Each structure stands twice: as structure tokens, then as C-alpha cells.
């Protein structure tokens, strides 16, 4: 009998929430099979099995928050001396004096729970690429749905029954695009009527995980850094024409192109002209970064995440488009890792996708500037003394007034606006 204790997924955290069990009592599990998903304060993590055998009991429930080192599943059978580990999680698995498995490099909480057997009891075996299933396992009565775990998670978050989705991938695999397309169809019908209130007069939602971290970060930022916000309306007609040309270009055939790409490139250009906005105010000094880790605020099923593109200033337009696509896809699928959200230097929030014209964003903690891109819509605009329909947007931003004066702020936002008005300036 072996117990698997909740490890720290390499983040130095003390607790995590059980999100989804992938197994149930009676199931046969193999080394590297995903046992469950847990949500920490930073990311959604899949935990693989270090054992093989039969699941005897699940020791924690979905939605329960447990401390690192707490036993969460009991497995019987198998060979306890053939313990292996998930290839993408750790190098070895140790068995402590109480018989519980602990991923080496993760550790367990508390002194008494960190005891280990002597080094010779620790074994490491290369993880098999595809563990064979015993022939005695009966085949399912219906064809199983072929889909990767992130795709299943996305379907769950979007309220899509994945069993009803027709897969277009290899061997009928349900892809992310299949799920999104099905969700769009569901949304059309769902929007025809408003749902009824459910579950009594009030609902109480515990503040934990990502929501707790967001709440604390926003309070710290709002009441530490004196925010100042500025806005300007922009004729973005040439940006829309430029985006259209890029979409028709063979070089951009495999990546998504949107006005956000031009905004990102405009910010990188404007930062070179006003580097103070890409800094960190420590109280004793202003640390001006000569690189840009460009954060993109992303609304995900887990809440607001701000992953960033490392060294974005070194990227071509095509490279930046590819990085934006990878970043947003990963965030929506709930696979953003903690390292992807660390060490950001400047942030974009695209509120235009929600139909908003402008807003007053709060700074990402540790940064001195954030730009908000509003929706781009046709409006009457005066051109050469005549009123014409043009594609118009509002560019706004918030800045830490301890670090940046009003002239620098105004010049920076004006530079961003000038690129949206004439993207050809990027070629200079």
C-alpha cells in the first residue's frame, strides 16, 4: 500500500486546491499517468503518478485546499521498489519512512515529514514513452473521445460536452479549435435568453488561489503607487489596413494577426524613445530595464493572468505575432506556468475585445506603466476638413507618478498613438 502526498510543484508554495481527479477507486494506474489537476496560487498543474497499481482511495475531495505533504491518494499493488517518476516533473521519487511517495526536488511540508530512507532505497528508472496497458482491461463499449488534457479542460471551462464535438485532428482527435467552434455555437443559443437565478438568495465564493493573489496584488499596487492616467483618441484606419495586408501575406499564414500585434510593436518602439516607462521603482532607486518582458493581460477561466513575452524588443513582427499567439493559447487552455508570469516590465491590457472604449487599468505590481487598447470601431472623423467614417480607437494608460513625470507619460502615449495612426513609421 502506497500513499502519494501532495508535492510542491516547484513554486515554493504551501498549499493547493484539488481541481479535478482523473482517477477513481478501482482504477488501474501506471507510472506517469495523470492522477489529478491542482490549482496553486500561480498555475494549474497536472500531477503524474509515481506508482503503478490499483487506486484504493482518494483522500481529498475536488474543491478542497490541502497543504503540501498531505496524503491525497492511496494505491495498492504494483511493485513499490520500481517507483518511477514523470519525465516532465522530477528526476527521482523517494519513499519516506511512512511509506508515502515524495517527488524529489519538491519535498513535503514540516520537519517530521521530510524524513527519507537511506540513499540506496532511492531508485530512478527512465520513464517509458507509452506504458503498455494490460490485456485484461476491457474495451469501452463506446468509442472514447480522443483529446489532450488541456483541450478537455477548455471544454469544461466553456461548458461544452466534449463527447458531442466532432474531432478534426489526427485519428479523430478533438482539437482546441473544435472546442472553440462548438463553444461559439453554444454561445449563440445561450445568449438568446437570460438564465434563472440558482441556489438561494446569495452565493458565497471563497477567495483563494488566483483570485486571492490578484486581490492582494491590486490592493498593493493601487495603494502603493500613485497612479496617473491619460487617454487619447486615435484614427487607426491605417492600422486596420496594415493588419489586412499582413493577414494576406504568406509569411503570416500560420499565425493570428490583430491590431494587438501592432499595439505591441508600437509600445516596443515608444519604450526606446521613453525608456523610463519600462522601469521598476524601488524607493531608493529607479531601475530602468534595457529589455522588455511584455506582459499581456489575459482573461482566463482561472481569472486574470499576465504572462509576458521575454525579450520582446529583440523580435521581428512575425516572431512577435507567433509569441502572442502562443501566449494567449496557453493562457486560455490553463497551461500558463509561473515562470511565464514573472519578471514582467510593461503590460498591455486589450479591453477592446470586450467592446470597451477605454478604462483606467491598475499597474501590474513592480511595473511603472500599463497601456489599455480600446475597441476599434467606425466613427465620424474630420480628415482634411471633411467628416469621413474612420476606424477609431482610444489609447489610454496608467503610470507610477513616483517614477515618471507627466511630460514623459504624455510623450510616450503620443508615440504609441502615432504608430497606430501610421504603422509605416515602424519601418524607419
Set out the domains of the chain in order of their start, with CATH numbers: 2-121 (2.40.50.100), 149-189 (4.10.320.10), 210-427 (3.30.559.10)
Most confident option among 110-124, 138-152, 158-172, 258-272? 258-272
Give percent of the chain with pLDDT exceeding 70.
80
Give the closest residue to 371 by CA, choosing from 413, 423, 414: 413
State the Cα–Cα distance between residues 381 and 240, nearest whole angstrom: 15
State the Cα–Cα distance between residues 299 and 310, nearest whole angstrom: 20
What confidence category does residue 203 fall into, taking pLDDT thresholds of 50, 70 and 90?
A: confident
CA of 348: how far to CAs of 10, 280, 345, 364, 389, in Å? 28, 16, 11, 10, 27
The dihedral of CA 209, 214, 219, 220: what is its sign? positive
Question: What per-residue confidence (pLDDT) applies to 95?
Answer: 37
pTM over 0.75: no
**Helix (H), strand (E) at residue 151:** helix 149-157
Bridge partner residues of 308 (DSSP): 295
Cell digits of residue 53 = 497499481
What confidence category does residue 426 fall into, taking pLDDT thresholds of 50, 70 and 90?
A: confident
β-pairing, 294-300 with 346-349? parallel
State the Cα–Cα distance between residues 426 and 152, nearest whole angstrom: 41
Cβ contacts of 342 within 8 Å, gap of 6 or more: none
Give the active site residue among 30, 290, 343, 401: 401
Question: What per-residue confidence (pLDDT) applies to 337?
Answer: 84
Pick the range with the lowest mean pLDDT from 92-96, 198-202, 305-309. 92-96
Look up 401 and say whether it is catalytic.
Answer: yes
pLDDT tens across 53-62, in order? Answer: 999 999 999 8
Cell digits of residue 113 = 515529514
pLDDT tens across 34-48, in order? Answer: 899 887 765 677 888
Give the closest residue to 257 by CA, choosing from 244, 268, 269: 244
Give the closest residue to 46 by CA, choosing from 159, 149, 152: 149
Q: Answer with the residue of higher pLDDT: 237 or 218.
A: 237
State the Cα–Cα distance between residues 62 and 102, nearest whole angstrom: 21
Residue 189 pLDDT > 60: no
Question: What per-residue confidence (pLDDT) applies to 105?
Answer: 31
State the Cα–Cα distance between residues 131 and 30, nearest whole angstrom: 7
Pick the range with the lowest mean pLDDT from 157-161, 319-323, 394-398. 157-161
Question: What per-residue confidence (pLDDT) applies to 100?
Answer: 39
Amino acid at each position: 500500500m502506497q500513499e502519494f502526498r501532495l508535492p510542491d510543484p516547484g513554486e515554493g508554495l504551501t498549499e493547493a486546491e484539488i481541481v479535478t481527479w482523473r482517477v477513481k477507486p478501482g482504477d488501474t494506474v501506471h507510472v506517469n499517468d495523470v492522477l489529478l489537476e491542482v490549482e496553486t496560487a500561480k498555475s494549474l498543474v497536472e500531477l503524474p503518478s509515481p506508482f503503478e497499481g490499483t487506486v484504493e482511495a482518494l483522500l481529498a475531495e475536488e474543491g478542497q485546499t490541502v497543504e503540501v505533504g498531505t496524503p491525497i491518494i492511496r494505491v495498492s499493488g504494483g511493485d513499490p521498489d520500481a517507483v518511477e517518476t514523470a519525465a516532465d516533473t522530477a528526476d527521482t521519487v523517494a519513499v519516506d519512512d511512512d511509506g508515502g511517495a515524495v517527488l524529489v526536488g519538491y519535498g513535503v511540508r514540516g520537519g517530521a515529514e521530510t524524513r527519507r530512507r537511506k540513499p540506496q532505497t532511492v531508485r530512478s528508472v527512465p520513464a517509458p514513452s507509452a506504458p503498455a496497458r494490460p490485456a485484461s482491461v476491457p474495451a469501452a463499449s463506446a468509442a472514447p473521445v480522443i483529446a489532450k488534457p488541456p483541450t478537455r479542460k477548455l471544454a469544461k471551462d466553456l461548458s461544452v460536452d466534449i463527447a458531442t464535438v466532432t474531432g478534426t485532428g489526427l485519428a479523430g482527435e478533438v482539437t482546441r479549435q473544435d472546442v472553440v467552434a462548438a463553444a461559439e455555437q453554444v454561445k449563440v443559443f445561450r445568449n438568446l435568453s437570460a438564465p434563472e437565478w440558482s441556489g438561494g438568495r446569495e452565493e458565497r465564493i471563497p477567495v483563494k488561489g488566483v483570485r486571492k493573489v490578484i486581490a492582494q496584488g491590486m490592493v498593493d499596487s493601487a495603494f502603493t503607487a500613485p497612479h496617473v492616467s491619460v487617454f487619447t483618441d486615435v484614427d487607426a484606419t491605417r492600422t486596420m489596413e496594415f493588419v489586412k495586408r499582413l493577414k494576406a501575406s504568406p509569411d503570416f499564414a500560420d499565425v493570428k494577426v490583430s491590431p494587438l500585434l501592432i499595439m505591441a510593436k508600437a509600445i516596443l518602439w515608444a519604450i526606446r524613445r521613453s525608456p523610463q516607462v519600462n522601469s521598476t521603482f524601488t524607493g531608493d532607486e529607479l531601475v530602468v530595464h534595457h529589455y522588455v518582458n511584455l506582459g499581456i493581460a489575459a482573461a482566463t477561466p482561472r481569472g486574470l493572468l499576465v504572462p509576458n513575452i521575454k525579450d520582446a524588443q529583440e523580435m521581428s513582427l512575425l516572431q512577435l505575432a507567433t509569441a502572442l499567439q502562443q501566449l494567449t493559447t496557453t493562457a486560455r487552455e490553463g497551461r500558463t506556468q509561473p515562470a511565464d508570469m514573472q519578471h514582467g516590465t510593461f503590460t498591455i491590457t486589450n479591453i477592446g475585445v470586450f467592446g470597451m472604449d477605454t478604462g483606467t487599468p491598475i499597474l501590474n505590481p513592480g511595473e511603472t506603466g500599463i497601456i489599455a487598447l480600446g475597441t476599434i470601431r467606425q466613427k465620424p472623423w474630420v480628415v482634411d476638413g471633411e467628416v469621413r467614417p474612420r476606424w477609431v480607437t482610444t489609447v489610454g494608460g496608467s503610470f507610477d507618478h513616483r517614477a515618471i513625470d507627466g511630460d514623459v507619460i504624455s510623450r510616450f502615449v503620443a508615440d504609441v498613438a502615432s504608430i497606430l495612426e501610421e504603422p509605416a513609421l515602424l519601418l524607419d
